[in-house]
Each structure stands twice: as C-alpha cells, then as structure tokens.
Amino acid sequence: MIDQFQDIILKRTGLYIREQDSRLLRDSLNDRMKALNIDSTNQYYQLLLDTGTLSKLEWKNLSRLLTTGESFFFRDKGQFTLLKNLILPELITRHEYDKTIKIWSAGCSTGEEPYSVAIILNELLPYIDSWNVTIIGTDINEDAINAAKSGYYNQWSFRSVRPEIIDSYFTQTKGRYKINNKIQKMVTFQSNNLIGDNFPDLTSGLCFIDLIICRNVFIYFGQDAIGTVIKKFSNTLNDRGYLITGHAELHTQKLGCLRARVLPESIIYQKNAEIIDDRTTSPIIPILLPILRTQTPAPAVKKEKSFIKSLIKPIKQPSASNSTENLLKSAINYIEQGSYLAAVDVIQRILHKDSRNFSATFILAQAYVNIGYLDKASIYCKKAIEIDNLAIEPYYLLAHIAEELGENVEVKDLLKKIIYLDSSFVPAYLELGALYEREDDTIRALKMRQVSIELLSELPPETIIAPYNEWTAGQLLAHTKKTIEALI
C-alpha cells in the first residue's frame, strides 16, 4: 500500500519519496489518519484520490508534513554573487525603459530567499521607488508561507549574513528579527503546487517573469516531474529571462528553449538566448573536447602545456589510425549534439580493439556523466588516469561528479591535484574559490580568486577560457574582480 501512496504523491505534487524518507512518509500518513479519525489506510487513500474540497484541503495538510525545507538569508553565496554582479544588473539595464522587473522564488520555504533578492535590488537601484518591482514567493507548504508573510526570523536564519545587512534591514524584537517594512512590501507570498497548478497564469501573477529561482527543490522530484515543471517555467519566462536552480539539478533534463550558461559559481539557464549548438540537454559540466592521443602514455614529466589552450585547439597525433581518428571525431560530434548514447556506441567499438586509448576512454566518461550514469563515468575517468596519470581532464570531470554527489572534501582534493599538475589551469582556482566561499572560508576564497586574476591578466583578453566557452579572459577577469569586491 505504501507504494500506492508514493505514486499518488509523485503524481499530484512531484515529490519523490526516497528510500531514506519512507519512515517520514509512514509517520506523516499515520498523523493525518489520526487527525481525521480514519482507521483504514484504504479509506485515507480514497480521500486523496478524490478531487473535492475535502481532498484539496487534505493535500495541503499532508504537504505540510512532507516538506520540511530549511532556508536562510543569502544561502549559497556564489549564486547570490551572480545575482548581484551579473543577472540583476543585466535585468536592470534591459528594463531601463519600462522600469519593470518581475521575479519568482519558487519553493521559497519561509521567505529568506525572496527577501534576500529584495535587499540586493534595493541596494542596486538608488531610485527603486520609481520602479515597478514584483517579487513573488511560492511554496506548497502553507505553514511556511504564513511564516514568510510574518517577516519574523530567528538568529539561525542569519548564519551567513554580514552584520551591516542585519543592522540595515532588520529590527530585533524579543530575541527575534523583524524584516524592514520596505523590503517586506516588495515581496508577496502565495501557496503553489508546481505540478498541480497551471502557469503561466495571469490571475496569480505567475507570468511574464524575468527571473525564476528554484533552488534545492528538484532534488525531491522525480525525473518526469522535473521535466514538466521545466516546461512550465520556460513558458512563464520572458525572452532572455533567467532560471536558477540548485547546482547540477538539471544535468540530464531536456531544456527546450533554455540554454545553459556555465560560470565558476554555478550553471544558470536563459530562455531563447543565442543558441551556439544543437544540444537539448544540460550537461553536468560543459563539453570537454579531449586531446586526440595515441595509446602511448605521455612521458612522466610535469606538463607545461595549458589545458585551456589544449581545449581550444585539440591536438591531432599523426600516428593515430584514420579509422580510430574518424570514430573519435564522430563520437565528439555526438557529444556536442547531446546524442550521448550514440557516442557510447561509437566509443565502445574503439575500446573493443584498443582498450588503452586515452581519448576514447575519456569521451566515454563524458557520455556516461551526461546521461546520469555517474558510477560508470567515474570508472572510465579512473581508467583514463591509469593510461595517463598526468592528464588533468579526467581529474576535472571527477571533481564535478564528486560535487554532484555532495562530496566536497573530494572535490577540493581533486581540484588541488589539478593545480599540482597544471598550475595555470584557471578553472580549478575559480571553482575552489567558489567552494570555499560556500563554506564561508573567505580567506581561502580570496586567495584562489587572486591567483585566478594573476593568471587571467597574463592571457590576451580575447582568449576563450574553456570550459566556460562563452567567456573570454577579459570578461572572466572583470567578473572575478567583482566577486572579490563582494567578498572584502
């Protein structure tokens, strides 16, 4: 019977009840049955199946128990740095003529996220009263929405907030903190079921949105539910509007008219931006075109060649056979187009004849990671390292796999290994800096960003920095300097 409850919850709310949460589900069902004085699980199940008023009310009550989201102000400093330095300034410039900005925080919990955005906008817009700023916070949990509307918070909600922000925007009252009335009036809250409710919707105001923030929500959703919500989000965004999700939450999803933009701090998505390639899914990391190598490992000496340069212009080794070379090119084309299963098929044909071909092994790892087979991707990354233990490409991919799995200690170890192998590899410093910033280790974050600035300053400004393939050295240098300013 528990499986039937899991299925109907997934269908109605998108919530995927993980194995480790099955106890929570059983307890929640028992609590609701006791509250309703229902003895039969079948009777309660039939109530949930119904579409009447009582059933709708019960879904709200059950959702309160199943969603216990935690939030705090300016959660994930890297993404809020992107909001302050890149996304919101771009939206402000874009809407200078009509002075209208509309933002939706989907799955806002108790409101810390949309209030944080309101604070940033208040600081970016000196004449904010002349603007029509709409910020909407929604959540399926009505208790959370009511708490957000009250505007009162405990000290725990400020664990990554600068003291001057607290002093400027909050008033302490009886051990709690009340948000500034001006900021509170910038945000409206309403309950919303991302699966069950329709949007775009004029009545609720969830339409013509410039920025949707939906972070750490999809980790509780099934794959089909995620796809459904992404399509709705896409239809709700204005052209060139942005979507921000949790790190790597969409890496196997069809994006439609959303395009992934990769930055050191996070992957963000933009609607109907200029399409550079035909990919329709979001990779866990950008495509890494490997060096086409022979099966003979490189000599055991420290490399002087920059990985950045090698990715810009792959090196073709003359000793590679035409047959293998053509198959490798074919596989790379499939990877670039998002046809990962086709790439797997081609690469397996190569490895059947030549099991120690570095390029084939590494391409196979990339293909597997982008269809969500992280365990297989890790295996082939490690095989690539066995073939050439000085190659930084597989270490970099392993670092992103570890980040996807939440293994931050391993991420740091792998990025440090890359720096040891190639001290000029800018992305390792930038991503270590972003990781340290998320851990509130400001000193190490600054150090990594400062080294990045030194390396970027030595490159021609027009140099494309792989794997951030739409960013030049000059643009990334300016972005990193802004990030440092925000940290100091």
Q: Report the sign of the C-alpha dihedral through residues 74, 76, 81, 83, in that order.
A: negative
| pLDDT band per the 50, 70, 90 thresholds, residue 311 | very low
Read off the tokens for 192.
Answer: 């919303």
482 or 11, which is more confident? 482
pLDDT of residue 180: 94
Sign of CA dihedral 24, 28, 31, 33: negative
pLDDT for 289 beyond 70: no
Q: How confident is the model at residue 298 (pLDDT cuts 50, 70, 90)?
A: very low
Distance, CA of 6 to CA of 4 (rounded, Å) = 5
Within 10 angstroms of residue 197's Cβ, the number of other Cβ atoms is 15
Is 80 exceeded by the pLDDT of residue 310? no
Residue 119 CA: distances (Å) to CA of 13, 340, 445, 471? 31, 42, 24, 28
Sign of the CA dihedral running 294, 300, 303, 304 = negative
| pLDDT confidence bin for 277, thresholds 50/70/90 | very low
Please say if the pLDDT value at position 104 is more than 50. Answer: yes
Show the DSSP H helices in 251-320 as ranges. Answer: 307-312
pLDDT greater than 80 at residue 210: yes
Top pLDDT among 95 and 308 is at: 95
Q: How confident is the model at residue 381 (pLDDT cuts 50, 70, 90)?
A: very high
Give the rounded percent of residues in the chain with a pLDDT score beyond 90. Answer: 45
Q: Report percent pLDDT > 70 for the chain.
A: 87
pLDDT of residue 313: 34
For residue 415, pLDDT beyond 80 = yes
Give residue 307's pLDDT: 38
Q: Which CATH architecture has domain 307-487?
A: Alpha Horseshoe (1.25)
Q: What is the pLDDT of residues 421-477, one digit of tens each?
A: 999 999 999 999 988 988 888 899 999 999 999 999 999 999 988 888 778 999 999
* Least reliable range by pLDDT among 108-122, 240-254, 288-302, 359-373: 288-302
Least confident of 89-103, 194-208, 273-287, 403-417: 273-287
User: Is the predicted pLDDT of residue 274 greater than 70, yes or no?
Assistant: no
Q: What pLDDT sits at residue 159?
A: 78
Q: How many CB atoms lie within 10 A of CB 100?
A: 13
With bands split at pLDDT 50, 70 and 90, how would you rate the model's confidence at 65? confident
- Residue 331, pLDDT > 80, answer yes
What's residue 473's pLDDT? Answer: 92
List, in sequence order, the alpha helices (H) in 313-425.
322-337, 340-353, 358-370, 374-387, 392-404, 408-421
- 113 phi and psi angles, rounded to 5 deg: -65, -55
Average pLDDT, the chain: 83
- What's the pLDDT at 317? 40
One-character DSSP codes across 439-462: TT-HHHHHHHHHHHHHHHHTS-TT
Confidence of residue 383 (pLDDT cuts 50, 70, 90): very high
Query: At CA 404, angle to CA 401 and CA 410, rounded to 5?
Result: 60
Vertex 249 angle, CA 68 and 224, to 5°: 85
Same fold for the domain at 2-66 and the one at 307-487? no
pLDDT at res. 292 = 52
CATH architecture for residues 2-66: Orthogonal Bundle (1.10)
pLDDT in tens, 30-57: 888 888 888 888 888 888 888 788 887 8
Neighbours of 304 (CB within 10 A): 8
Query: With bands split at pLDDT 50, 70 and 90, how would you rate the model's confidence at 70?
Result: low
Would you state the structure tokens that stand for residue 265, as one six-digit string?
């701090």
Which band of pLDDT confidence, cut at 50, 70 and 90, is reported for residue 487?
Answer: low
Angle, helices 358-370 vs 374-387, to 10°: value is 160
Upper half-sphere CA count for residue 18 (Cβ side, 13 Å): 8
> What span, in angstroms and rounded, lies between the C-alpha atoms of 67 and 85?
32
Low-confidence winner among 148-152, 173-177, 201-205 (lowest mean pLDDT): 173-177
Query: How many Å apart are CA 145 and CA 430, to the nearest integer?
Result: 36
Q: How many CB atoms lie within 10 A of CB 65?
A: 16
Q: Which of 109, 107, 105 is nearest to 118 (CA)?
A: 105
| Mean pLDDT along residues 245-268 | 80
pLDDT at 485: 80
* C-alpha span between 169 and 277 (Å, rounded): 44
Mean pLDDT computed over 334-343 = 80
Using pLDDT thresholds of 50, 70 and 90, give the confidence band for residue 304.
Answer: very low
Closest CA to 236 of 261, 270, 272, 212: 212
For the chain, give every domain's residue range.
2-66, 77-271, 307-487
pLDDT over 90 (residue 209): yes
Q: What is the structure's pLDDT at 339?
A: 79
**Fold for domain 77-271?**
Rossmann fold (3.40.50)
**Separation between Cα atoms, residue 216 and residue 417, nearest integer Å:** 29
Per-residue pLDDT, averaged over 104-119, amounts to 94
Over range 214-222, report the average pLDDT.
82
How are beta strands 176-179 and 152-153 bridged, if at all?
antiparallel
pLDDT at 365 over 70: yes
pLDDT at 119 over 80: yes
SS3 459: coil
β-pair type (468-472, 170-173):
unpaired
**3-class DSSP state for residue 406?**
coil
